């Protein structure tokens, strides 16, 4: 809301040649969006900053990016709060959902996404936690299979085989002998 106050803080980020200072200029049309946001000036420790809080899932469209002071690596980035009926955003969201394991849900989907991104250690940490919280054998079989896949991707083939065998042993107990998952 106060450009000068915002600019007061930006040079701190531009003191190193490896850093860039950015001033975000956000445009909001409240009638176009149901995304929650609120002024927190009355409850903030920094009343003079007149801060606005946005909900976690808020998405902005990036507009112009222009230099304010090239010598100090300072740029202005214009953002616009997306509207609820933004077709481009809906198309992108649908595409991402189709490409990121549409048959998986929740934490399992995140684990598969981490694997796809090559973040094998993070995926393993997630599946290890899920394994300790699993309440049924079907979930455990699935988790062991995912852990096997992670180890296979890491080249730890013996450990992968161990996980796959655990998954198979559980499936053999809970599924009919002619089930395609066997």
**Domain range annotation of the chain:** 3-84, 100-172
- Of 133, 115, 137, 116, nearest in space to 124 by CA: 115
Q: What is the pLDDT of residue 131?
A: 93
Instruction: Note the pTM of the prediction, 2 decimals.
Output: 0.54
Provide the greatest CA pair distance for the chain.
72
Write out the two tokens for 171: 């499936």
With H, G, I as helix, E, B as strand and everything else as coil, classify residue 21. strand
Secondary structure class of 56 (helix, strand, coil): coil
What is the CATH number that goes with domain 100-172? 1.25.40.10
* Residues written for the chain: 182
* CA proximity to 35, closest of 43, 44, 26, 45: 26
Q: Are 13 and 19 in contact (CB under 8 A)?
A: yes
Give the whole-angstrom CA distance, residue 20 versus residue 18: 7
Q: Which residues pair with 62 in a beta bridge?
A: 79
- Tell me the CA distances in angstroms from 113 to 97, 145, 147, one per residue in order: 11, 15, 13
Query: Do the beta carbons of residue 77 and residue 23 sit within 8 Å?
Result: yes
The strand pair at 52-54 and 60-69 is best described as unpaired
Q: Looking at residue 12, what is its pLDDT?
A: 54
Given a cut of 50, the residues of the chain with pLDDT beneath it are none
């Amino acid at each position: 809301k106060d450009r000068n106050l915002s600019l007061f803080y930006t040079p701190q980020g531009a003191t190193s040649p490896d850093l860039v200072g950015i001033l975000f200029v956000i445009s909001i049309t409240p009638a176009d969006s149901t995304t929650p946001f609120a002024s927190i000036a009355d409850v903030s420790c920094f009343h003079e900053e007149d801060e606005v809080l946005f909900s976690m899932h808020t998405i902005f469209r990036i507009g112009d990016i222009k230099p304010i002071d090239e010598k100090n690596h300072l740029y202005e980035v214009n953002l616009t709060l997306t509207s609820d009926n933004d077709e481009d955003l809906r198309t992108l969201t649908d595409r991402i959902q189709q490409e990121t394991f549409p048959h998986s849900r929740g934490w399992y989907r995140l684990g598969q996404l981490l694997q796809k991104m090559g973040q094998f250690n993070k995926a393993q940490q997630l599946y290890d936690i899920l394994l300790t919280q699993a309440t049924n054998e079907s979930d455990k079989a699935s988790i062991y299979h995912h852990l096997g896949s992670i180890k296979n991707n890491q080249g730890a083939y013996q450990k992968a085989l161990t996980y796959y065998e655990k998954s198979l042993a559980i499936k053999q107990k809970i599924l009919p002998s002619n089930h395609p998952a066997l």
